[in-house]
Amino acid sequence: MTTTTKLSPAQEAEVRAGCQRVALDYSFYADNARPDDLGKLFLDDAEFHLFGQVHVGPAAVAKAMGANVGGSIVTVHAVSNHRIDVVSETEANSTAYVTVFVADKSAPAPAAITPFIVGAYHDSYRKTADGWRFAKRAFEPIVTKAA
């Protein structure tokens, strides 16, 4: 179990805001086909667990998330219930639910969108000299569209 350091309400709010921004940037970069920027949200030794595979470090994350760049689908990540537990001034953990919607890129705008999967992100964050980063991000699928 992780020991929690007592911080002031302002310090806790600052930690939460930094972590929330990393999580929001992740969805923005994923939905806008920016895998290199997405990879930069991860520490050099960070683990990203996705669909049974573990990607370690920014380059591996960028490569995994860049697989659909130029592909046939567009995604929209809708994140909710983001709960951030502050451990210290430099560490936090969180859980957030995500519904990922997909649409065919070639369809005329606005394209019909389909809910693809609902899951939870289980995250660990660390603060660095460059700001907050993922130390670990694990996606847990909960429900998905019937085949």
Contacts of 65 (CB under 8 A, 6+ apart): 29, 30, 35, 38, 39
Which of 113, 97, 94 has the alpha carbon at shortest distance from 17? 94
Q: Are 80 and 97 in contact (CB under 8 A)?
A: yes
109: domain CATH number?
3.10.450.50
Q: How many Cβ atoms from other residues are within 10 Å of residue 82's Cβ?
A: 17
Tens digit of each residue's pLDDT (9 = 90 or more) over 87-108: 999 999 999 999 999 988 888 7
Tokens, residue 124:
């660990």
Check pLDDT > 90 for residue 49. yes
Domain membership of residue 107 as a residue range: 9-144
Check pLDDT > 90 for residue 129. yes
pLDDT of residue 28: 96
Flag whether 89 is in a domain: yes
Flag whether 22 is in a domain: yes
Q: Confidence class of residue 111 from pLDDT cuts 50, 70 and 90?
A: confident
Tokens, residue 95:
């859980």
